[in-house]
Chain A
Amino acid sequence: MSIVDLKGIYTAYEGGEKAVIRDLSLRVDRGEYVVIGGPNSAGKTTLLESINGLVKITHGSASVCGLDVSSQADEVRRRVGYVIQNFYFDPFTPFSVEQVVMMGRFGRLGLMNRPARADYDAAQRAITIAGIEDLVHKTIGTCSGGQQQKAMIAHNIAKEPEVMMLDEPFSNLDFVAREYLQGVFKEMARKGVPILMVAHAFDGLPNIPIHLVVMNKGKITYDMNCTAAEVENIIRKECGVSGKCSSG
């Protein structure tokens, strides 16, 4: 049974003239490394937010980790990591990087339960994996964009998710950090956690079979396995452009 199983889903925003995602079906198995590409407004972020129930599915069925997304969205979100695309933390945000990473565990803990030793250990492991040991006591708002992005990735690693979704996770990172974190995600996939990554830059993709999903106008136009080297050319072809796909 696939860990993510979407069957003919539609997603619409209130007041929108038409559905953002239309009749979309997708299956993702354990350990897969999924790259989601496509032009602006293709519905890539909406697809991720439909999978974890942040956006309501109007038609079709969605099952994640064996749970129905429409009726068990809270439980789905506890099991799925999601690094969001846009965030801004003002310099006066009164939380340290360590506290932000720890917050990744809060959903799993349930209402009113306090973090235990195991939770602190998981947060510490995530900090080490993300390579941000030197930032733990810094307040998140005083970190650079790249440091904040690493902290948000660590926040989701601390969650020990069954599915990891990332929306343009490398937009603020230099190539060294990108390659390092690609290695981290490759290792997660090797351990069976599927990675679903929306991206516009494809350098440093791990040298493993990539499940490539290309979206355009709310629909999937390509859904097949390929190699890391083929990803960019396939997306360019699907976008109908000879140059690079537009980003954003």
Chain B
Amino acid sequence: MLEWLIENNVVCHALEAMIFASIACSILGVIISRMNLSSIGFTMSHAAFAGAAMGMFLGANAQMTAIAFSMAVAALIGPVSDKAKMAADATLGVLFAMSMAVAIFLISYMEYMGKGLSASSLLFGDVVSLYREEIYALAAVCCLTIIFVLAFYKEISAIMFNMKIAEAAGVRVKLVYYILLFIIALSVALSLNIVGGLLIFVLLVTPASIAGQFCFNVKSMFIVAPLVALIVSAFGVWAGFEFTLPVAPLVALLLTGVFAISVMLSFKRRINTRMH
């Protein structure tokens, strides 16, 4: 897609992938941060990790099994929380532990069997060895995320304000919540190859937290968060290739640095000391 701008195919693919992943994850991040569901990033990324390990164990396509396993976990979060009358965060903790256990079990077993499995690309991402199909899939998920937010903006903003008040107002809270979980599962599973299971959390939480330092309304948060994520990711890809540094951790560190600066500069935190 950006070949007209960047001649090097590897850099081009890495940039495209980072752009789509960062836009999708940061938009979703605005919603989950406000809903206090940040741990959904952990759970989904480890579900995808477990799914990928399962795919490698079975000799199937690791990306497809990662998507399938994340979807299955997404489908469990809502009903398990409702049925067990547990806070969504507690359910996420249980499913996170289960996913991690499945992944570690399979990796250990394969090592024991001498099959050998490198988990490092799943944990830390590998932005230089992406297939074109993976980038198309990421572009599709990025579009799906934007369409979801535009189509359900009214419902999403009511849920972000207060879930109980939204439900009392007659908003279809559960339906929108379940769709949100599925889109998060899809985005995380597809981003796993790029930033890895451990760093996906940065893309989900940090841009939204940066936007939160300056934005007074939710509409501007939905614009600022992906914009920040896009600029930092693009700069991270350029710097990573220019100075031969690992791209995903570099992007994570850059975003964390921007967050630290934004907290210091945030005018929302300033206290008016004027007496008149």
B170 at the interface (CB under 8 A from A): yes
Minimum distance in angstroms from B42 CB to a CB of chain A: 23
Question: Which residues of B lie under 8 Å from residue A78 when comparing CB positions?
Answer: 169-170
A222 at the interface (CB under 8 A from B): no
CB contacts under 8 Å to B, within A155-188, are: 155, 159
Residue on A with the closest CB to B150? A112
Q: Which of B65-73, B110-118, B123-131, B215-223 contacts A (4 or more CB under 8 A)?
A: B215-223
Q: Are A111 and B172 in touch, CB under 8 angstroms?
A: yes
**Chain B 170-213: CB-based contact to A (< 8 A → 1; otherwise 0):** 11100100000000000000000000000000000000000010
- Contact check: which of A14, A75, A114, A159 meets B169 at CB < 8 Å? A159
B166 at the interface (CB under 8 A from A): yes
Cα-based distance from A87 to B221 in the complex (angstroms) = 23
**Chain A 72-94: CB-based contact to B (< 8 A → 1; otherwise 0):** 00110111001010010100111
Q: Which 5 A-B pairs have the closest CB atoms?
A: A107-B170, A78-B170, A77-B170, A107-B169, A82-B168
Q: Are A103 and B166 in touch, CB under 8 angstroms?
A: yes
**Chain A 104-116: CB-based contact to B (< 8 A → 1; otherwise 0):** 1011110111110
Q: Known: A92-B212, A95-B157. Contact between A104 and B169, CB under 8 A?
A: yes
Cα-based distance from A112 to B171 in the complex (angstroms) = 10
Q: Are B169 and A77 in touch, CB under 8 angstroms?
A: yes
Q: Are A14 and B85 in touch, CB under 8 angstroms?
A: yes
Minimum distance in angstroms from A214 CB to a CB of chain B: 25
Q: Are A94 and B215 in touch, CB under 8 angstroms?
A: yes
Q: Chain A interface (Cβ within 8 Å of chain B)?
A: 14-15, 52, 54, 74-75, 77-79, 82, 84, 87, 89, 92-96, 99-100, 103-104, 106-109, 111-115, 139, 152, 155, 159
Minimum distance in angstroms from A133 CB to a CB of chain B: 19
Question: Which residues of A lie under 8 Å from residue B268 when comparing CB positions?
Answer: 92
Q: Known: A52-B168, A107-B171, A111-B172. Contact between A94 and B155, CB under 8 A?
A: no
Q: List 12 additional contacts besides A79-B170, A112-B151; criterion CB under 8 Å.
A: A54-B164, A78-B169, A87-B165, A94-B34, A94-B215, A95-B157, A95-B218, A99-B157, A100-B161, A103-B161, A109-B154, A139-B217
Minimum distance in angstroms from B150 CB to a CB of chain A: 10
Q: How many positions in chain B have a CB within 8 Å of any CB in the partner chain?
A: 28
B3 at the interface (CB under 8 A from A): no
- Contact check: which of B34, B85, B164 meets A84 at CB < 8 Å? B164
Q: Are B165 and A84 in touch, CB under 8 angstroms?
A: yes
Minimum distance in angstroms from B166 CB to a CB of chain A: 7
Minimum distance in angstroms from B223 CB to a CB of chain A: 12
Minimum distance in angstroms from B226 CB to a CB of chain A: 16
Q: Known: A54-B167, A87-B165, A159-B169. Contact between A106 and B154, CB under 8 A?
A: yes
B158 at the interface (CB under 8 A from A): yes
B9 at the interface (CB under 8 A from A): no
Minimum distance in angstroms from B70 CB to a CB of chain A: 25
Question: Which residues of B lie under 8 Å from residue A113 when comparing CB positions?
Answer: 154
Cα-based distance from A60 to B170 in the complex (angstroms) = 23
Question: Which residues of B lie under 8 Å from residue A111 when comparing CB positions?
Answer: 152, 155, 172, 175
**Chain B 23-55: CB-based contact to A (< 8 A → 1; otherwise 0):** 000000000001000000000000000000000
Minimum distance in angstroms from A91 CB to a CB of chain B: 8
Cα-based distance from A77 to B164 in the complex (angstroms) = 12
Question: Which residues of B lie under 8 Å from residue A52 when comparing CB positions?
Answer: 168
- Contact check: which of A15, A84, A89, A109 meets B168 at CB < 8 Å? A84
Q: Are A112 and B85 in touch, CB under 8 angstroms?
A: no
Question: Which residues of A lie under 8 Å from residue B215 when comparing CB positions?
Answer: 94
Q: Are A54 and B168 in touch, CB under 8 angstroms?
A: yes
